[in-house]
Chain A
Amino acid sequence: MNSSIDLVTVAQLLINGTLLGGLYALIAFGLSVVYGVANILNFAHGTMLAIAAISGAVLYEKFGLPIPVILIILVSFGFVFGWIFYLTLLQPLEKREPHQRTVGMVLVAVGALIIMGDVTAVLAGAEQRVIRVSSTYFEIRGVIISGTQIGILVGAAVCMIALHIFLTRSWTGSSIRAVAQNTIGATICGIDSARTSATTFALGAGIVAVAGLMYIISYPLNPYSGFPLTVKAFSIILLGGIGNLTGTLLAGLALGIGEAVVAFTIGPQWAAAVSILIVLGCLLLFPGLTTSRREA
């Protein structure tokens, strides 16, 4: 390693980390909303993102559709897919006793992620894909920033804030939060909890589609790179707290910057280990992290 790490490099690292971290935060927020409401830790979250992203790349390369059209297609497809997926595969498991429910949820999600990855690899190829869009670059005192990436960061922030406002201000949002906090209580008040959970799951899938498209515009993905993203999102939730917008954002940025620093100082192949070590480290240092919310 270079012995004198200058200020420009540090600034560049921070900026790259921030740009990636903002995207991580959006991915994690989607996972967190679904977990908070439907009480499902969706193991297939990142894989759904990778599949959406690759579909987007195929639509872009093969059919030459403009990005906004692709976005609309992906989001609507993601929403419908999420809705059907929840109602046919996950909702029926709610009737089981807790242990069997957990096992069922884990198996369905893990099975789905393996199927999705494999089928996509067969249909679209297992290779890395990325959408290349022309971008303007800004240079401030030697630090290079891509216009596209700034656009993506702003987009991620807008999505998260919009989602937050939707959850806190709208009636559907209120019912989602009601179900998250007390399912039985919400049901007594006349909220259809199955429908609310389905809406949330579909919403999560919609967010994943947006995040996937943003992701593949700046970073390459293949059908199997989804699971590491789920791990990252999970580590962010652990750090930032479930359903906590500010916490998720900060934790996302911390992970993005942490990965950039590790990639630079130790080597890029180790960046993926950061999130897993965060998960294990958090558990070791803060035993109360997951028990504080709800008992198993």
Chain B
Amino acid sequence: MNIPQNMISFGVAAVVSVLIACVPLFSSSYTVSLTMTLLLFFVLAQSWDWVGGELGYVNLSHFAFYGLGAYVFSIAYSNDLHPALSLFLAPIVTALIVSVISVPLFRLRGEYFAFATLALLPLFQILASNLKWLTKGSEGIILPAEQITETAFILMVALAFVTFVASTILVRSPFGLLIRSIRDDEEVAESIGVRILPRKIILMALSAAIAAIAGGIHGWYLSFIDPTTMFGLDVALVPIAMALLGGSALLWGPLVGVIVLVFMNQWLLTNISILHSAFYGLVILLVGRFLPGGLLRSQLLGKVKPLGFLTKEHHEHIVSAGTTIGGLSLSKREPDQDRVALECKNVTKRFGGNTALKDVSIRINEGEIVGLIGANGSGKTTLFNCISRILDLSEGAIVVYGDDIAHLRRDQIAHAGIGRSYQIPRSFERMTVRENITTALMASISPPDYANAKHEAARFAQYVGLADQVDVVVASLSPQKRKLLELARALATSPKILLVDEVASGLTSNEISEFVNHIRELRDVYGLTIIWVEHIFSALSQVVDRVVVLEQGSVIADGPLAEVLENENVQRSYFGAATGGEIEC
């Protein structure tokens, strides 16, 4: 359990916040304004990192949400609304607008997403400069002069505290875990049952709402806003530069970046009169070129022991969970041998002029273990990709327990009971084994309690033989171990039908027979239906009820293994010509 750990950090943060809140009592107005700048940029950098670091989407328009908040506040306040109400409106309106524009934006990935978000800045600037009736155009909005410096300061301290606490909670919550799974491999996250789009939009809206409150408070504090200061390209990227300089997706990363850059900027302001934007540009460029993980991940810092806590990544919170003996949390049941689990009806898949699957019809009953074999390029993995809807069918239908899956999203297909492993492992690289499996558990329709899920995850890891690597980050696992993790993660989605894609290659014969025992047990005890793509016949022969042979996208044989291997077509397909000889299994 993490509650005590959380409570300690919240307590420390609260004490620090109160101390900062006292700054105006005993220091100069210069110190107050400097602290205000620090707080503002901390809030912006930290809330940016929710999307930029945790979700892995480089959102370059975050500053525009700050500007939007400032505008909403200023327009409401200058129209005689109560400041508290205006401050309340700022995040609400901003979050609504951001939710709407997030829908098209999240169709993009990588640099495309970064680009489209950057293009929002000029759009907002054009709107703010030209909707004169609303925004007073490029002259900007001047708020009535008041003594609100201290109020605004205390509000900003409170907001910084809330942002810090929210980040901590986010990182340790199941929501945060699912968000990180999207970061590591969106497609896989979806096909183990994570509903992607609403989560992305909620996170983006939350992050924008925090920026908007900061904008409202800061606008009030400045009592003047105009389009250039709110949406100008050169200032807009400053908080992002800070978060990345410190170390994105690290609890202390944004804070460190903010402190370094704000003080550097103060020094520049007093010593150099030109090229401030160029300086920020240079920092952004250098971070991009030389510091992929930020200051806190640089090797130098890793050697300084006392600073170790700063460089902690977002996992490793449970070490004491230990090994838990007991069966898997899958429900035990007898397979109903007469029930059709999966049916492919005339499935055809074309890539341009190339037909990868041609009129494939297969019917598999519940509890069957079917080997899917065929030469390389015969369409085995393509068929798996069609069943889990990584690919869309060109023609035909795939029916799972009576329901056509054509209209389901990938996450719904996972919930319909299809689990799979990938031939080339696609684990969530930057997570631990436990986190990978926990993600699958938490992505189910009725997720278990988070703490229980973490314990269960260890059981799944143990089941496939990863007991010693439960809290190891996947990036450091061997390919074979990753394949085992693929199986554990697929099982954690509680599938009814399991698609296994070439697990045995690379395993020793002992490991193979253990794996085969698992497959048998999964069917006998948990009632799973299994389709297994494999080249190693000796592994298949131990457990399959029958095999389906694909050649150039068509089914050329379907029956018991020994019988199928006698088939001339199959021999030709595998060995080039009918030898008539015995094939050893």
Contacts and interface: CB of A to CB of B under 8 A. Distances in A.
B107 interface: yes
A284 to B, nearest CB: 4
| Top 8 A-B pairs, shortest CB-CB distance | A107-B288, A111-B285, A114-B281, A296-B109, A111-B284, A115-B281, A118-B278, A296-B110
B10 interface: no
B567 to A, nearest CB: 36
What is the interface residue range for chain A against chain B?
35 or more
B104 A107 contact: no
A108 B289 contact: yes
A228 B119 CA distance: 8
14 contacts: A40-B111, A103-B248, A106-B60, A110-B285, A114-B237, A115-B278, A115-B285, A117-B277, A122-B278, A224-B233, A231-B119, A280-B101, A284-B104, A284-B107
B58 A231 contact: no
Interface string B114-129: 1110111011001101
A111 B286 contact: yes
A89 B116 contact: no
B114 A102 contact: yes
Question: Which of B116, B233, B283: most chain A CB closer than 10 A?
Answer: B116
Given A41-B112, A96-B292, A114-B237, 10 more contacts: A93-B289, A103-B248, A111-B281, A111-B286, A115-B278, A118-B281, A283-B105, A290-B107, A290-B108, A291-B109
Contacts of B120: 276
Interface of chain B, main secondary structure: helix
A111 B233 contact: no
A59 B111 CA distance: 35
A296 to B, nearest CB: 3
B286 A234 contact: no
B116 A279 contact: yes
Contacts of B278: 114-115, 118-119, 122
Interface of chain A, main secondary structure: helix
What is the interface residue range for chain B against chain A?
35 or more
A269 B130 contact: yes
Nearest to A35: B111
A119 B119 contact: no
Nearest to B108: A290
A106 B285 contact: no
A143 interface: no
Question: Which of B60, B103, B105, B288: most chain A CB closer than 10 A?
Answer: B288
B522 interface: no
Contacts of A119: 275, 278
B244 interface: yes
B126 A273 contact: yes
B104 A103 contact: no
Interface string A109-133: 0111111011100100000000000
Contacts of B288: 93, 103-108, 110-111
B287 interface: yes
